[in-house]
Amino acid sequence: MAAPAPEVERRADALANGEFAIPVRLYSPKGLAEVELPGLVFFHGGGLVSGDLDTGDSLCAALCHLGRCRVVAVEYRLAPESRFPAAHEDALAAVMAVAAAPSRWAIDGTRLGVAGDSAGGNLATSAALRAGAAGVELALQLLLCPVLDPLARTPSRCELAGGHLIEEATMRRYWELYRIDGLAPDDERVAPLRGADLAGAPPALIHTAEFDPLRDEGGLYARALANAGVPVRHRTHAGMIHHFYGLGAVIPAAQTALTAIGAELRGAFAGGLSWP
The question of whether 212 is a catalytic residue gets the answer: yes
Give the residue from 94, 41, 45 showing the smallest Cα distance to 64: 41
- What's the rounded Cα separation, in Å, for the pair 105 and 64? 13
Q: Which of 164, 212, 216, 243 is catalytic?
A: 212
Q: Is 144 helix (H, G, I), strand (E, B) or coil?
A: strand
In angstroms, the Cα distances linking 23 to 12, 20, 82, 98 are 8, 10, 15, 13
Distance in angstroms (rounded) separating the CA atoms of residues 215 and 72: 26
118 is catalytic: yes
CB 114 within 8 A of CB 142: yes
Of 28, 118, 126, 156, the active-site residue reads: 118
State which amino acid sits at residue 97: A
Q: Which one from 88, 234, 242, 243 is the annotated catalytic residue? A: 242
- CB of 202 within 8 A of CB of 126? no
At 130, phi and psi to the nearest 5?
-70, -35
* CA distance to 26, 133, 143, 144, per residue, from 223 (Å): 32, 21, 14, 16
Contact 56, 128 (CB under 8 A): no
The verdict on whether 181 is a catalytic residue reads no
Active site residues: 118, 212, 242
